[in-house]
Structure 1
Amino acid sequence: MSIEQITKAIGDESRKKILDLLTVGELPATALFEQFEYAAPTISRHLSVLKEAGLVNTRREGVFIYYSLNKETFKELEEWLEAFVPVKIKVKQERTERATSPRPPKKENTFDKFQSEF
């Protein structure tokens, strides 16, 4: 898929909402339709645009169609966007992630507690 097609698909608020909903995992079309006040054919068209851009995968099970995110396309988009992110920001982000990562709690030394009581 072309980056232009991907970015056009992501540029619509309704399609962004669909992508957000799919971050929890695969969902049937009916579950997606319920999240909007639009008619089903309108949402169906949005889903078609996302599928044509390669952002979602479909799986048919009987009469139901299930949608899920196509992670490969998002990786492709991420790789393309990396060229626009300065190295300085990437390094700063990595430092921040390391600094905010949870640290294991200090183990209490029972001997130290015993010593402080005297």
Structure 2
Amino acid sequence: MEQQNGRNINKELPFLGFSHVCYRHSTGFLYTPSVKYVAQKYICYWFIDIIMKGGRNLDIEGRCPLYWKLKRLSGLKFRITCHDWQEKLIWQREIHSSFVGDEVSFVFTDECWDHHGGMLTISKYDE
């Protein structure tokens, strides 16, 4: 796959319709078809795993929703950040990745789908 310079993947997501269908991650948290689409198309299930494990391991009580972002710094170097709803940085890490986009963001919340925590794309959360 070719690198897509300066492109925010969230702005390129197709409308997948409103759905009550969700997928269950091995952590027990749920995620939407749009999250699955991003993970499959851009081969970034590893980022989904980081977010889901963060939802389980970070002290998030009263801090949700959490905003997770993967952003290219340069070349193959990226920064992953997690901010709470007050824009307070909770967690960050720099990694190397072959991710083809320059940026993608997700929302993790503990208040959706009948009290199950889960993950949505930013565009779905804003609707």
- Band of TM-score, shorter chain: under 0.3
| Structure showing greater Rg | 1
Give the number of the structure whose residues are more often strand, by fraction: 2
Q: Which structure shows the bigger proportion of residues in helix conformation?
A: 1
TM-score between the two structures when normalised by the length of structure 2: 0.26
TM-score, with length taken from structure 1: 0.28
